[in-house]
Structure 1
Amino acid sequence: MVQEILHSSHLTGSLQPASLRPLPKRRGISRGINLEKVWQANGKMPLPIAFDNVERTMQPIGNNAKYFTTLVGNQVRFTVPPCYPSWTEVPEEQRARLHSIIEGDWSPDEYRAVCAAVDRLAADRYHDYKLKAHNHLKAHEPSRPYGEMSAKD
């Protein structure tokens, strides 16, 4: 009777060790596929983006705000190496590449404010990127007792 229960089809999956269970499907990193589709639909012309200047938050707003955030995140992830402790340590020439994605007729004051908003957004994305990489490495690093050195240390 017990063996019948253990071998029944509805319990077999739950009795497997964790190492044999299939991993749940999770979201992958954003590659900007929807942004690409919207850009293609717009005739490969730059998408209009507005920033909240009324409340002085300078956050992207409007229909294309989520695409802009995705674009900044992808630019940070694919062009800036994660070796810097924080976004403030990233060299200015690498940060300036992000400012080049902003086109438009901005006054100098508006342009500085928009660049500062992009820097804040990029700093958040850089922090998230580094945190995810750190958590991934910690989860997949072989555990060893405290104080034990490996051959590469």
Structure 2
Amino acid sequence: MSVHVARGHRGDGGGEPPRQPHTIPKACDSSKPKRGFGRNLNLYEQSRLNKKKPLPLEFDITTRLYKVVGDNHQVYIRLVSNEVQKNVPFHYPSWDDVLEDYKRKVYLTLHNYFDIESFRDTPHWNGIVQGIDADFKASYRRRKSKVKKHFLSVGGYNDVETAMKHPPT
């Protein structure tokens, strides 16, 4: 029996080379995203109170990292995390390798809840887009790290069969 386990990374591994080539099949059923209602109740309430209009965002442009700051920072970060978890399978080596269809779903949800378009014609637009992409990349990396820790705790590479019988919840 041949078992494929994702061991490599690319693009968000801190410049470290992968240990082994990525060998997970594209149709891996175990990595399909789970659908469900996110626990971002504050965002849903704020959206309702704002009559379903996109909420304003503020970006820190002084550091050139274009991080979201201000009143809606926490609900923004939670939405990014929830949407990446719900919509993107985690068998890709990095966020850069995720198919555009999955990324588009996450971006569309973000645009539904937050007013990003008001920055489009500003000189900071490219930086803001890169900052948002960095937030998605970090969320994807954290999720993969959490899953790998679980994998290692239930058998890991030494007992892949046992690990496969105990997927993360």
TM-score normalised to structure 1 length: 0.65
2:55 matches 1:62: no
Aligned to 1:104: 117
- Report how far residue 127 of structure 1 moved: 0.7
Deviation per residue, 1:58-112 (Å, 9 max, x gap): 0001100111111111111111100101111112332233333234222175332
The corresponding residue for 1:115 is 129
In the alignment, is the contact (CA less than 8 A) between 1:77 and 1:129 conserved in 2? yes
| 1:44 matched to 2:52 | yes
Distance 1:51 1:89 in 2: 26
Of 98-107 and 54-63, more deviation after overlay is shown by 98-107
Distance 1:108 1:81, change over 3 A: farther
Structure 1 position 71 matched with structure 2 position 79: yes
Question: Which amino acid in the other structure matches residue 69 of structure 1?
Answer: I
Deviation at 1:41, TM superposition (A): 2.3
**C-alpha distance in 2 between matches for 1:115 and 1:36:** 24
* Separation in 1, partners of 2:156, 2:136: 33
Q: Say which structure, 1 or 2, has more relative contact order (CA 8 Å, 6+ apart).
A: 2
Separation (CA, whole Å) in 2 of partners of 1:112 and 1:133 = 32
* Counterpart selection for 2:99 from 91, 95, 100: 91
**SS where residue 45 of structure 1 aligns?**
coil
- Cα 1:143–1:87 change in 2 (3 A) is closer
* Contact 2:60–2:69 (8 Å) recurs in 1: yes
Over the matched positions of the two proteins, sequence identity in percent amounts to: 25
Task: Answer yes or no: is the 8 Å Cα contact 1:98–1:118 preserved in 2.
Answer: no
Stretches of structure 2 that go unaligned for 5 or more consecutive residues are: 1-37, 165-169
Match of 1:17 in 2: none
Bigger radius of gyration among the two: 1
Unaligned runs of 5+ in 1: 1-29
In 2: Cα distance, 1:39 partner to 1:76 partner:
20
**Number of residue pairs matched by the alignment:** 120
TM normalised by structure 2 equals 0.60
Match of 1:130 in 2: 144
For the residue of structure 2 that corresponds to 1:85, the secondary structure is: coil
Q: Measure, in 2, the Cα distance between the counterparts of 1:54 and 1:63.
A: 18
